[in-house]
Amino acid sequence: MEKMEKLANETKQLARLQTVELERTRLTAALKALPGELAAADSQLKAAQKRVSDTDAGLKREELLRASLELEIAGLRSKAARHRDQLNSAKNAAQATALEHEISFAETEISRLEDRELTSMEDTERLEIERSKAIELAAKLTETTGLIRARIGEQDLEFREQLAAYKIERESLRAELASWEDGSKLAHFDRIASMRGTGLARADGQQCSGCRMGIRPQVWNQLRDGAVLPCESCSRILYYDPAMAPAPTKSPLPIQSDLGGNSIKRKQAGA
Ligand SMILES: [Zn+2]
């Protein structure tokens, strides 16, 4: 009886060590992933901010373009007006034709530049919509990034604290386990865990819960008697936990009693 209890206790320690190891692995990975999460949010924010400054620059460019177009148009208009004046005092037909040609050229050019101005106005409208959308997005992302940064700060601290606590627990568990059977079980556990991720598995329904392979009836019986044996397929240390076992299956009740059983169930449900 004493031996059984010791065995159960040792198995519990190993199971706890396995939980601690898995949690340490999970927390270490989660801790490592935290800066990446913030970096992803940050790069989204930077992209939105760049869109704001890009549209800003675009709007300024269009404004400058229209100012220069206005200047050019004004120049062409005064040139055309001058040519019209000269046309009134043209000395001959050839001179008049040349002036008319100049005026027509200026007018074509003015209308081309005015079209360009219109396109620029449309571009400005589009850029303004884009800019306000980008500003809205950047504001939202600034808020989100701030929240992520705060959460990550808290999680970083929390994960580190948990890891520190697990480290202490792990060391004391290992020290205790190392004193049993000259540490041979712990060494076996470590060897399998390093290969398969876990070194211990529960025997459940005549199956190894680690590799899902069946357990021979003889080994299964030994496990159910409290023995702790390696799985013949994956070498994980197998144990049987009666507390986790399914309730023993009852033999089916005759029809008469079944009716009675149902009425009892109903009564219990109603109560
Ligand atoms: Zn197995």
The whole-number pLDDT of residue 258 equals 42
Q: How far apart are CA 88 and CA 82, in angstroms?
A: 10
Q: How far is the CA of 145 from the centre of ligand 1 (A)?
A: 45
Q: How far apart are CA 124 and CA 252, in angstroms?
A: 82
The whole-number pLDDT of residue 158 equals 97
If you search the block for the tokens 């000395």, which residue do you land on?
A: 91
Q: How far is the CA of 218 from the centre of ligand 1 (A)?
A: 16
Is 166 in contact with 27 (CB distance < 8 Å)? yes
Q: How far is the CA of 185 from the centre of ligand 1 (A)?
A: 16
The whole-number pLDDT of residue 90 equals 87
Q: How far is the CA of 15 from the centre of ligand 1 (A)?
A: 15
Q: How far is the CA of 176 from the centre of ligand 1 (A)?
A: 25
For the chain, 271 residues long, the average pLDDT of each consecutive 10-residue run is 64 94 96 95 97 97 98 97 93 94 97 98 98 97 96 97 98 93 91 96 95 96 93 96 69 46 42 37
Q: How far is the CA of 186 from the centre of ligand 1 (A)?
A: 17
Residue 13: CB partners within 8 Å, gap ≥ 6?
173, 176, 177
Q: Report the SS3 class of residue 218.
A: helix
The whole-number pLDDT of residue 1 equals 46
The whole-number pLDDT of residue 7 equals 61
Q: Which two tokens stand for residue 103?
A: 């005026």
pLDDT, tens digit, 9 for 90 and up, residues 83-104 = 999 999 988 999 999 999 999 9
If you search the block for the tokens 């019209």, which residue do you land on?
A: 84
pTM of the model: 0.67
Q: How far apart are CA 117 and CA 17, in angstroms?
A: 75
Counting beta carbons within 10 angstroms of the beta carbon of residue 106, is it exposed (0 to 12), middle (13 to 18) or buried (19 or more)? buried
The whole-number pLDDT of residue 246 equals 65
Counting beta carbons within 10 angstroms of the beta carbon of residue 241, is it exposed (0 to 12), middle (13 to 18) or buried (19 or more)? middle
Q: How far apart are CA 27 and CA 93, in angstroms?
A: 94
Taken in order of first residue, the domains within the chain and their CATH numbers are: 2-178 (1.10.287.1490), 181-244 (no CATH)
pLDDT, tens digit, 9 for 90 and up, residues 122-163 = 999 999 999 999 999 999 999 999 999 999 999 999 999 999
The whole-number pLDDT of residue 170 equals 97
Is 223 in contact with 229 (CB distance < 8 Å)? yes
Residue 209: CB partners within 8 Å, gap ≥ 6?
201, 202, 203
Q: How far is the CA of 227 from the centre of ligand 1 (A)?
A: 15
Q: How far is the CA of 221 from the centre of ligand 1 (A)?
A: 16
Q: How far is the CA of 235 from the centre of ligand 1 (A)?
A: 6
